[in-house]
A and B are shown apart, each in its own frame.
Chain A
Amino acid sequence: MTIEDQSPVAGAAPPPETAPAQVLSFRDGALYDGPVVALAEFGATSNTAAVRIDPGDDARALLPHLGRLRLVEVSFPKYRDGRGYSSAQILRAAGYTGELRAAGDVLLDQMVFMRRAGFDSFAPAAPLDRAAVDTALARFPFVYQHAADAQVPVWALRDG
Chain B
Amino acid sequence: MYKYDQYDQAIVDARVAEFRDQVARRLAGEITEDQFKTLRLMNGLYLQLHAYMLRVAVPYGTLSGTQLRMLGSIARRYDRGYAHFTTRQNIQYNWIKLAEAPDLLAELATVEMHAIQTSGNCIRNISSDQFAGAAADELADPRPYAELLRQWSSFHPEFSFLPRKFKIAVIASDTDRAAIQLHDIGLQLVKQDGELGFKVWVGGGMGRTPMIGHVVREFIPARQYLSYCEAILRVYNRYGRRDNIYKARIKILVHELGAAEFTAQVEAEWAHLEPLALDAPQAEYDRIVAQFAEPDYDLAADDGLNRSDPDFALWVDQNVHAHKQPGYAIATISLKPVGGIPGDASAEQMELIADLAERYAHDEIRVTHSQNLVLAHVRKADLYALWTALADAGLATPNLDLVTDIIACPGLDYCALANARSIPVAQKIAERFADLDRQHDIGEIKIKISGCINACGHHHAGHIGILGVDKKGEEAYQLSLGGSGAEDASLAKILGPGFSEAGVVDAVEKVIEAYRTVRSGPGERFLDTYRRLGDAPFKAAVYGAPA
Contact = CB atoms under 8 A, between A and B. Distances in A.
A116 B162 CA distance: 16
B285 to A, nearest CB: 9
B11 A141 contact: yes
A150 B7 CA distance: 17
Interface range, B side: 35 or more
Given A81-B161, A93-B272, 14 more contacts: A83-B242, A85-B159, A107-B35, A109-B35, A109-B39, A113-B155, A136-B18, A139-B18, A140-B155, A142-B11, A146-B277, A147-B158, A153-B280, A155-B280
Given A93-B272, A155-B280, A82 B158 contact: yes
Given A93-B272, A142-B11, A80 B38 contact: yes
Given A139-B18, A141-B10, A144-B11, A82 B237 contact: yes
Contacts of B14: 139-141
B157 A159 contact: no
Contacts of A139: 14, 17-18
Interface string B234-265: 10011000100000000000000000000000
B157 A154 contact: no
Contact of A82 (B162, B226, B272): B162
Interface of A: 55, 79-83, 85-86, 89-90, 93, 107, 109-110, 112-114, 116-117, 136, 139-148, 153-159
A143 B156 CA distance: 9
A144 B154 contact: yes
B7 A159 contact: no
Nearest to B150: A144
A9 B152 CA distance: 41
A89 B242 CA distance: 20
22 contacts: A79-B38, A80-B161, A83-B238, A85-B160, A86-B234, A86-B237, A86-B238, A89-B158, A109-B39, A113-B155, A113-B161, A114-B157, A142-B11, A144-B156, A145-B151, A145-B226, A147-B157, A154-B7, A154-B8, A155-B281, A155-B284, A159-B283
A157 B238 CA distance: 31
Nearest to A119: B157
Interface in B1-38: 5, 7-8, 10-11, 14-15, 17-18, 22, 35, 38
A112 B155 contact: yes
B35 A86 contact: no
Nearest to A157: B7
B121 interface: yes
Contacts of B283: 155, 158-159
Given A139-B18, A142-B10, A82 B155 contact: no
A112 B238 contact: no
Contacts of A79: 35, 38, 161
Contacts of B237: 82-83, 85-86
B287 interface: yes
A159 B158 contact: no
Q: Top 4 nearest A-B pairs by Cβ distance?
A: A82-B161, A116-B157, A155-B284, A154-B7
Contact of A144 (B22, B121, B155, B277): B155
Given A154-B7, A158-B7, A159-B283, A109 B22 contact: yes
A113 B39 CA distance: 13
A147 B238 CA distance: 17
B287 A143 contact: no
A82 B239 CA distance: 11
B276 interface: yes
B278 A145 contact: yes
- For B15, B18, B280, the residue with the greatest tally of chain A CB atoms inside 10 Å of its CB is B280
Contacts of B277: 146
A142 B284 CA distance: 16
B11 A140 contact: yes
Nearest to B235: A86
